[in-house]
């Protein structure tokens, strides 16, 4: 067999371990076993939300500024500068902020959880949980996954639902009417 076409066996082993671990943790959340530690998942969600708030606000400010400037230049060239706010609202709330929120959450929150669990492994806190009879996968991983899902639902869906399709359609019709000169 051509060595360039052979997939390294270690990569497939690692992928299988990651898939097995992810399915075990997601299974603990879906079956409701994690609800035994619902208070811990609420505490973790609070930590995630408070730790990410400044970064989210800064990101939304930067994206809003970028969309507003682009909308102003675009619509001034078309003769409808009064509708720059519509472009900025559509650009921010419907397009950029949900995607950027997902990337930010995956980067900041994911690396924070991994660093916290790694330091707990080094300081033998995970072994202490096992000695006390608490399932460490359930208490540490599943509660953090549930907290991250709560955090994602609170941020991403509120940004997606802030502007309805009817609002966008009315705004687009108003822009087209202004551009055609019939209004």
What is the SS3 string spanning the chain?
CCCCCCCCHHHHHHHHHHHHHHHHHHHHHHCCHHHHHHHHHHHHHHHHHHHHHHHHHHHHHHHHHHHHHHHHHHHHHHCCHHHHHHHHHHHHHHHHHHHHHHHHHHHHHHHHHHHHHHHHHHCCHHHHHHHCCCCHHHHHHHHHHHHHHHHHHHHHHHHHCCCCHHHHHHHHHHHHHHHHCCC
Average pLDDT of the segment spanning 148-173: 60
- pLDDT tens for residues 80-131? 888 888 888 888 777 777 777 777 777 887 888 888 888 988 988 888 988 9
**Mean per-residue pLDDT, 17-31:** 90
- For the chain, the domains span 9-180
The confidence score (pLDDT) of residue 179 equals 56
175 band by pLDDT with thresholds 50, 70 and 90? low
pLDDT of residue 173: 64
């Amino acid at each position: 067999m051509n060595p360039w076409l052979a997939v390294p066996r270690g990569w497939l082993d690692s992928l299988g371990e990651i898939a097995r671990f992810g399915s075990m943790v997601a299974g603990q959340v879906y079956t409701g076993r994690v609800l035994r530690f619902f208070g811990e998942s609420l505490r973790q969600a609070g930590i995630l939300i408070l730790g990410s708030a400044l970064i989210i606000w800064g990101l939304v400010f930067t994206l809003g500024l970028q969309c507003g400037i682009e909308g102003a230049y675009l619509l001034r060239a078309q003769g409808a500068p009064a509708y720059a706010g519509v472009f900025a609202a559509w650009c921010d709330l419907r397009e950029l902020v949900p995607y950027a929120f997902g990337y930010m959450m995956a980067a900041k929150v994911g690396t924070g959880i991994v660093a916290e669990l790694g330091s707990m492994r080094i300081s033998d806190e995970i072994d202490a949980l096992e000695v006390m009879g608490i399932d460490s996968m359930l208490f540490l991983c599943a509660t953090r996954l549930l907290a991250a899902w709560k955090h994602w639902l609170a941020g991403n869906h509120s940004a997606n639902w802030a502007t309805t399709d009817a609002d966008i359609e009315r705004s687009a019709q108003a822009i087209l009417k202004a551009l055609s000169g019939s209004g």
